[in-house]
């Protein structure tokens, strides 16, 4: 016999399912469908409905083309649609006032959904937290930008996917009490591109007051190429529209699937190094990039995985099938030009270190070109910018805590790739899609329980319960096979090799 639960939001009643002490409300609309005249426009509040609306299965994900390494964490979406602005809520009780976690999934702003099994919120909700996961517009539908696309009501012409996240925050403010959540105790969190969006939102004070803390797991925080300037984004949009035989305004008339597929093909063409559909510095919502924006005025929990780079260069499905889209340099001769290009693309400051010095330092403790490359990539793209953000946050007088995830996934003695921490935070290491990739089920469960407890403490008390981040002595709480313990930061990151991230003038 199925047990149902009812929640009444401003738009009407919702029927969810109760199981194992947790009520799940899935596929809840939080904005009007962004289709037709609302494509490439700011999200509009959801309209009301009559009767009790079933919230028993997730809504469709945004249109996307799943990539190989993205399948490590996420199953292919069961359904895709341009009509995708749905969220999911898990709650231990629809009465009372429990703290809330609003989670923004990763996927390079091009893949993923709020319904992935790895982020099912039931286990975390059983720890006394109301969990909300969201879909938002991806790829072309969430990121094309141009002055001619300006919304007549808001004046905004970019960052549609980021605006969806702001709309979800407003929905939580107005509706989460119906699920037993406390709108005054919301933590905004995300992983990878979702975490980068969380950082941008908090650093710019967008919808300030609707969240009281942030969690950023492995956010890429460098400026272009990960983000886009308005001029570059406009040129990209013009080139895409021309390839479709329409002007910029005509992008709202093209079939949504055709637009998504054409942009996906266009994004990997020789004309552009990477798609310009990531967050855009439009001068309205986004004025600065995370590495030099003011510190967010809320507590921060931030961290990374020990070998982030393995996601792109050394990832398997746990049974030997390769998923990574790129190859690491195989020889030292190949390493030097690749390292020079990486530093040029991802180091945002004038005083870049000599590449030979970089290689010599990373060769300490790494005896092959692929190992040196993966350590360098992890530091430069993730760890160093995040340490910089943590230091700026702490020096601004705001509480900050750092963690490192070092649990070795299946088939490896020391690989903890990008995104591997996500199912641990949600208590889903045994979930069918990821369990074989994670391996070591008993040990994984123990680490997951520890991480869930720490994340719950941050959501409830605004502190995970370990020592705050000290820029003078950077340390992390490390989660791995040996449990949890405080540890100093990886030597190369703390040694001042990247002066722009650690100099006093940047602090």
- Give the catalytic positions in this structure: 192, 308, 418
Q: How far apart are the C-alpha atoms of 101 and 206, rounded to whole Å? A: 17
Helix axes 332-346, 369-377, angle to 10 degrees: 10
Picking from 384, 382, 363, 383, the residue whose alpha carbon sits closest to that of residue 373 is 363
Furthest-apart CA atoms within the chain: distance in Å: 68
HEC states along 37-71?
A: HHCCCCCCCCCCCCCEEECECCCCECCCCCCCHHH
What token pair was written down for 156? 């905004």
What token pair was written down for 18? 């109760």
Q: Which residues neighbour 270 within 8 Å (Cβ) at sequence distance 6 or greater? A: none
| 404: helix, strand or coil | strand
Beta-strand relationship, 400-405 and 300-305: parallel
| 458: helix, strand or coil | helix
- Length of the chain (residues): 507
Q: How far apart are the C-alpha atoms of 448 and 427, rounded to whole Å? A: 6
Q: How far apart are the C-alpha atoms of 447 and 148, rounded to whole Å? A: 50
Picking from 78, 79, 84, the residue whose alpha carbon sits closest to that of residue 31 is 84
Long-range contacts (CB closer than 8 Å, 24 or more residues apart) made by 481-485: 481/406, 481/407, 481/408, 481/440, 481/443, 481/447, 483/446, 483/447, 483/450, 484/447, 484/450, 484/451, 484/454
Q: How far apart are the C-alpha atoms of 167 and 180, rounded to whole Å? A: 20
> Is-cis flag, bond preceding 350, omega within 30?
no
CB-based contact 165:134 (threshold 8 Å): yes
CB-based contact 405:305 (threshold 8 Å): yes
Q: How far apart are the C-alpha atoms of 59 and 42, rounded to whole Å? A: 20
């Amino acid at each position: 016999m199925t047990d149902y639960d009812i929640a009444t939001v401003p738009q009407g009643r919702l029927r969810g399912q109760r199981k194992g002490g947790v009520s799940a409300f899935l596929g809840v609309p939080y904005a009007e469908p962004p289709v037709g005249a609302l494509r490439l426009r700011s999200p509009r509040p959801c309209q009301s409905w009559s009767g009790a609306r079933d919230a028993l299965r997730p809504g469709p994900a945004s249109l996307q083309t799943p990539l190989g390494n993205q399948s490590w964490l996420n199953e292919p979406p069961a359904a895709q649609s341009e009509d995708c602005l749905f969220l999911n809520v898990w709650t231990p009780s629809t009465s009372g006032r429990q703290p809330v976690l609003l989670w923004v999934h990763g996927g390079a702003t091009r893949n993923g959904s709020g319904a992935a099994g790895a982020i099912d919120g039931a286990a975390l909700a059983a720890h006394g937290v109301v969990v909300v996961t969201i879909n938002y517009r991806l790829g072309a539908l969430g990121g094309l930008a141009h002055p001619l696309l300006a919304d007549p009501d808001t004046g905004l012409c970019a960052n549609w996917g980021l605006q969806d996240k702001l709309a979800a925050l407003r929905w939580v403010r107005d509706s989460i009490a119906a699920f037993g959540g406390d709108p005054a105790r919301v933590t905004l969190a995300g992983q990878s591109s979702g975490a980068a969006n969380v950082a941008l939102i908090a650093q710019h004070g967008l919808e300030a007051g609707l969240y009281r803390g942030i969690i950023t797991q492995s956010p890429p925080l460098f400026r272009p190429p990960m983000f886009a300037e308005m001029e570059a984004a406009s040129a990209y949009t013009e080139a895409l529209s021309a390839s479709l035989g329409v002007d910029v305004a005509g992008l709202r008339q093209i079939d949504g699937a055709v637009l998504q597929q054409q942009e996906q093909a266009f994004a990997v063409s020789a004309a552009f190094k990477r798609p310009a559909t990531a967050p855009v510095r439009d001068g309205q919502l986004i004025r600065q990039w995370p590495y030099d924006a003011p510190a967010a005025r809320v507590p921060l929990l931030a961290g990374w995985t020990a070998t982030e780079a393995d996601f792109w260069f050394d990832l398997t499905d746990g049974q030997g099938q390769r998923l990574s889209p790129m190859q690491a340099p195989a020889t030292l001769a190949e390493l030097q030009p690749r390292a020079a290009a990486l530093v040029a693309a991802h180091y945002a400051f004038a005083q870049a270190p000599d590449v030979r010095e970089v290689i010599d330092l990373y060769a300490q403790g790494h005896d092959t070109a692929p190992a040196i490359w993966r350590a360098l990539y992890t530091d430069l793209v993730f760890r160093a910018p995040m340490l910089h953000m943590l230091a700026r946050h702490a020096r601004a007088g705001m509480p900050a805590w750092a963690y490192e995830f070092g649990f070795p996934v299946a088939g490896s003695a020391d690989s903890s790739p990008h995104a591997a921490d996500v199912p641990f935070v949600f208590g889903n290491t045994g979930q069918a899609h990821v369990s074989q990739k994670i391996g070591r089920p008993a040990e994984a469960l123990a680490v997951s329980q520890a991480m869930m407890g720490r994340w719950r403490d941050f959501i409830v008390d605004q502190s995970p319960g370990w020592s705050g981040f000290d820029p003078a002595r950077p340390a992390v709480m490390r989660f791995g096979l040996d449990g949890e313990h405080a540890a100093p930061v990886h030597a190369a990151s703390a040694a001042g090799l990247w002066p722009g991230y650690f100099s006093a003038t940047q602090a």
